[in-house]
Amino acid sequence: MIDVYFWPTPNGYKVTVMLEELGLKYNIVPVNIGKGDQFKPEFLKISPNNRMPAIIDPEGPGGKPFAVFESGAILMYLAEKYGRLMPTEIRGKYEVIQWLMFQMASVGPMLGQAHHFRLYAPEKLQYAIDRYTNEARRIYNVIDKRLGEAAYLAGEYSIADIAVYPWLVPHNMQGQNLDDTPNLKRWYEEMRSRPAVQRGFAAMAEEVAKMREAASARQRPHDQESWNNLFGNKQFEKR
């Protein structure tokens, strides 16, 4: 059974959705990034960049346990190991990989910045808010154009779709309206209706409900401890 070092974030959901699509059994190992679990030495041995998700496959190459960090690498590893959701022939494979790299290089980082400056930054910097909201809109338009040409990002359903979808779920946080991108909206609704996607997003559902309740009670997304672990000085300590 694969151990998944997980917290309910877009990058975390990529892995649980992938495992559900493959029909694999897995064990969730919570990594509470608000409490600083990502900085613990035992986790850093698995994920030296102190980021979740990560996995340990007890039946890795050569039949030995194998740890993989970085969500995109995890998706590729699982796709190649199980021969699904990424073609083996070079043209189809790189159709998938280029859209996966688009997610890793643009969708995640830029939409993450939109989240940060719109919601989490202690100062409301209008320049940053406008810059990353506009960049999010540009990215949505890139996706919308592609999905006007094909049913899925790489033509057929693949790890590229699994990687992009979780980052678009909080579109309201990014200042985006799906009605502005009808092709993307069609794909989004189809993704949301997939049973494996729904099961993947059910991971740690009780914890998610508690976090939302706590955030609502204090009228801010994070308390001081979690903010410092996610965005403050704790994040930048040498390890």
Rounded Cα distance between 163 and 16, Å, is: 11
The CATH number for 222's domain is 3.40.30.10
The sheet carrying 66-69 orders its strands as 26-30, 2-6, 54-57, 66-69
12-41 tens-digit pLDDT: 999 999 999 999 999 999 999 989 999 999
Residues 6+ apart with CB under 8 A from 198: 192
Residue range 34-81, pLDDT digits in tens = 899 999 999 999 999 999 999 999 999 999 999 999 999 999 999 999
pLDDT for res 221: 64
Q: Is the dihedral of CA 50, 53, 56, 62 positive or negative?
A: negative
Q: pLDDT averaged over the chain?
A: 93
- The answer to the question of residue 155 being in a domain is yes
CATH number of 192's domain = 1.20.1050.10
Q: Is residue 41 domain-resident?
A: yes
Question: Do 43 and 111 fall within a single domain?
Answer: no
Domain that holds residue 15: 2-84+218-236
pTM for this prediction: 0.91
Under a CB-based contact definition with an 8 Å cutoff, are residues 24 and 4 in contact? no
- In terms of phi and psi (left: phi > 0; alpha: psi -120 to 50; beta: otherwise), the region of 212 is alpha
* 206 occurs within a structural domain: no
Question: Do both 96 and 189 map to the same domain?
Answer: yes
